[in-house]
Structure 1
């Protein structure tokens, strides 16, 4: 039995009038947990229930892969980086890179995160003294871009950081437009096409120069960053190193995946706190009691469970990637409905995380959902902000550590406030966003026992 769903014209009209995110939600309410759309020869199957998440990612994962749905991302953005690679190449790259991203492996970058967090504290203190309104998404994007570029390339100059950030974001915007059918053919010399090509050339040239520079020096002098780790990695069976093309693709993938999603998470965290004062009060109580104004260490994060619960609830209600796709290699059945071979199965953290069968009052921001007892009692596949299974985002531990640290550092000293009567307009263009921005005034608060800004407990910065 084929899944129900809207016709093509209804789908096009609905997306144009409501936006993709809201139109899909409307279809879910009308048709249930599985529905489809046929676009020419292509079939999109939307599956919202956690049981479908489990089937596609776990029990029947051999039948699903990242095929044609990722062609645009491969061609225009990350090549064969780990997010889009498949088969033996993906397995090889995952095995080589996984040790860098374990909970223990990412601890190597905690000091870097703390240093950049301390710089942002100083910036926000200056802004708070003037009552300056800022675009909070830009503030979060700048700090996460700085962190990932330093972690990746040991890049320290702000000029280099901004150049790389702007170029990759230009590439990402181009890809999003193409996937939404908003771009003209590549060969036309439009301003958008020329801007994309110039950005891609800048990124490729910069990474190639860094690789060449390191290969021209003694390996013992290389900085201990992710690029050096990738360059030193060897396949256990063949002893083969990554090619320069793969090093470039993995570098772009790491930057793209390592700053944008965390920046979105932190942006949405400030919106959630601004609109949930009781949650903010509990968060401040924990931060004041444990830190007393001090800059946290990575080890102290264990003493800040409610802070992490806030991060997890942000990822539930506002996942940076509201949808992800898996292509069916052969015909399958999901919840009793036929899924043809070649169909693109659209799984949705955004709507699975709002499923009323699983979540009580799903639209309410409630960090208490993440107590150990409540989490253990929940369906094991109801929560998948980083996907799940063997293709879970490799950088999830890096992102959680970074979000936990930045929220602890900033929330104990500041309470960003929304502009009066501001209402966000949520949208999806690849990632979840707010079309009218998130203007906020940085307001200082006094921790219970104020410490010194940038005090790293006696450690040098």
Structure 2
């Protein structure tokens, strides 16, 4: 059975005119929870219902993997890191790395989050005093890049942090372009190609140098960071460590996945608070009541549940990854519709999180959706900001804890305010973003 959906020319015209994110929303409302587009010989199938998320990610996951849809990211950005690897390699790497990212495992980084954010508090105090307008997305990208580089490599110098952030940003932009198919081979000396190659060389060289430096010293002297943990990890069956190439790929993957998405989440959190003053007032009340003006500790976080509810609601309404893909490795059916082998199935947190069958007033920002009672009563796959099933993002606990800390520490001291007359335009360019950025001024509380 064929799913309904737009014809190819209609799809191309709609995406160009309205943008991918908005156009797919109109097609969902017109065609329902499952629809398809034929692009040449390939089928692109969109599935918005939570049952489809469960089908692809859990009950029929053996029919789906990360294959052709991830070729550009694999080739130009993160190699065979955990985000793009598949089959036995993915299972082995996931098993090796999982202990580092459990809720208990990421608690070891809470003090790092607090220390780094304290530096940002000092910077924002200066910005508040000067009344300077800032690009809030850049502020959040810099703090999350700093945190993940320190957690990964114990990198401390701001020069190194800026260099790595900018280089990986260049690689991400190139991989996004490559996914569209409109790019020239790397041997063509275009400005974009040269910039990408220089960025990749810088990133690969820097990681190789850190690994070599550690190899040259006694293991007992290595810092207790993620790279050291990966270098010390051994396969349970073979006793073998990760290869140098895999160490590099997993390092790039951790940096890429560990800073960009959290930076987006925090950017969108400031937008949400600026446009929902009652939520901001209630958040401030919790922070003032629990902390009484003092700096938080890691132990305070469990006594700040509303702040975490705000983070979860940001992830619902503004998920950093509004779509993700699973490639069908065998023929299947979703909601009675045929899925041929080789089809790309697009699952959408952005639209599943807005499904009116599972969310009351889905466009309303309401952290009270995340009380224990309401959360437990919900469909288990109506919410999947980090994907779902065995391939759920391994860094979800790290990201949630980091976002919780950043929100608590910054909202305790500051109230970012939108530029007068600002109107958001949500777009998808790999990840969710705001066209034109998010200009804000930082006001001290």
Deviations 1:293-338 (A, max 9, x none): 2221122111011000000000000000000000111111111111
Inter-partner Cα distance in structure 2 for 1:107 and 1:307: 17
Aligned to 1:110: 110
Q: Quick check: 1:133 aligned with 2:133?
A: yes
Aligned to 1:178: 178
Aligned to 1:283: 283
Aligned to 2:21: 21
Compute the TM-score of the two structures, normalised by the length of structure 1. Answer: 0.96
Inter-partner Cα distance in structure 2 for 1:236 and 1:329: 28
Aligned to 1:262: 262
Inter-partner Cα distance in structure 2 for 1:109 and 1:182: 40
Paired residue total: 445
Q: Quick check: 1:82 aligned with 2:86?
A: no
Compute the TM-score of the two structures, normalised by the length of structure 2. Answer: 0.99
Deviations 1:247-283 (A, max 9, x none): 0000000000000000000000000000000000000
Deviations 1:39-65 (A, max 9, x none): 111110000000000000010011110
Gaps of 5+ in 1: 446-461
SS of the aligned residue for 2:380 comes to: coil
SS of the aligned residue for 1:241 comes to: coil
Indicate the RMSD between aligned Cα atoms, in angstroms: 0.6
Aligned to 2:155: 155
**For 1:337-352, what aligned pairs fall within 5 Å after superposition?**
337-352=337-352
Aligned to 2:36: 36
Offset of residue 184 of structure 1: 2.4
Inter-partner Cα distance in structure 2 for 1:183 and 1:123: 40
SS of the aligned residue for 1:104 comes to: helix
Inter-partner Cα distance in structure 2 for 1:295 and 1:63: 49
Deviations 1:370-405 (A, max 9, x none): 001111111110000000110000000000000000
SS of the aligned residue for 1:333 comes to: strand
**For 1:34-73, what aligned pairs fall within 5 Å after superposition?**
34-73=34-73
Aligned to 2:124: 124
SS of the aligned residue for 2:427 comes to: strand
Aligned to 1:364: 364
Offset of residue 438 of structure 1: 0.2
Inter-partner Cα distance in structure 1 for 2:365 and 2:223: 42
Aligned to 2:388: 388
Q: 1:301 to 1:324 in 2, by over 3 A?
A: same
